[in-house]
Amino acid sequence: MVTNGEPSVGAPNQWGDNELVELPRAGLTIRVASSYWVYGRGPNDPRVAVAPDVAVNMTAADFFAGRDPVLARALR
């Protein structure tokens, strides 16, 4: 679980691969997602984000000192 900040990525399943669709009455051409990509636990995976395997907190002291605790943890 992420204890602060934002999740590492968005939902594992998502719409993508846009196609152009013309709206002749409006005189517009729009892009509409045409494919549903399943990378999660199946097509009905309800997660809206994927939390990292290891949560690492960053404090204000880390930030102002120029330290990167996430990178330090990854290099361990």
pLDDT tens-digit profile, the chain (76 residues): 445 556 767 788 999 999 999 999 999 999 999 999 999 899 999 988 887 778 888 889 999 999 999 899 889 9
37 phi/psi in degrees, rounded to 5:
-95, 125
Quote the pLDDT of residue 4. Answer: 54
Cα–Cα separations (whole angstroms), residue 59 to 37, 39, 62, 67, 68: 36, 32, 5, 9, 10
Helix, strand or coil, per DSSP, at residue 9: strand
Ranges of each domain in the chain: 9-75
Q: If we measure between CA atoms, which residue out of 7, 4, 14, 5 comes closest to residue 53?
A: 7
Quote the pLDDT of residue 5. Answer: 56
C-beta of residue 58 within 8 angstroms of C-beta of residue 70:
yes
